[in-house]
């Protein structure tokens, strides 16, 4: 579980930096550049959040359940949300736009799971 999350955080961060750099060079394609920028920002923020969740998941037993939900949700959200935006920027496959909201819901679920951690006893 932890290794998968760390791999997704690392690859998500890598893809976010690459997408942000590519977006800076797409002056002639503003829609693709905006998709890349949005995916890059969300991917990077959630890669960092996923690393924080890894630290939380190492803690006390009562916290692990919500931390696991947050971790898997952030991991899925990075792949589905940012990944679909990156793919949309580089292709004509508009059906990929249907994937993006599922990634957004996963990211929201991850943040909600983190909020639950605040109310858990140690």
- Is the entire prediction scored with pTM above 0.85? yes
* Count of other CB atoms within 10 angstroms of residue 16: 25
Task: Determine the pLDDT at residue 22.
Answer: 95
Which are the contacts of 84, defined by CB distance < 8 A and separation ≥ 6?
39, 96, 97, 99, 100, 103
- Dist. CA 3–CA 39, nearest whole Å: 23
Instruction: Look at residue 61 and tell me whether its pLDDT is greater than 60.
Output: no
- Sign of the alpha-carbon torsion through 53, 88, 27, 34: negative
Residue pLDDT, tens place only, 67-90: 899 999 999 999 999 999 999 998
Task: Give the per-residue pLDDT at 119.
Answer: 83
Cβ atoms of 43 and 97 closer than 8 Å = no
What does the pLDDT average to over 22-44?
94
At CA 57, angle to CA 63 and CA 112, rounded to 5?
Answer: 60
Reported confidence tier of residue 120, pLDDT bands at 50, 70, 90: confident
Per DSSP, the chain holds a count of helices (H) and strands (E) of 5, 0
C-alpha to C-alpha distance for 62 and 122, rounded to whole angstroms: 7
Confidence (pLDDT) at 58: 80
């Amino acid at each position: 579980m932890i290794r998968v999350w760390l791999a997704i955080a690392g690859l998500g961060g890598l893809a976010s930096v690459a997408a942000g750099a590519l977006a800076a060079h797409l002056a002639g394609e503003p829609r693709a550049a905006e998709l890349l920028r949005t995916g890059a920002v969300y991917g990077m923020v959630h890669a960092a959040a996923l690393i924080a969740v890894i630290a939380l998941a190492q803690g006390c037993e009562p916290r692990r359940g919500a931390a696991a939900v947050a971790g898997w949700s952030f991991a899925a959200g990075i792949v589905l949300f940012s990944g679909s935006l990156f793919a949309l920027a580089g292709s004509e496959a508009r059906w990929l736009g249907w994937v993006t909201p599922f990634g957004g819901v996963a990211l929201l679920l991850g943040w909600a799971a983190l909020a639950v951690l605040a109310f858990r006893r140690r």
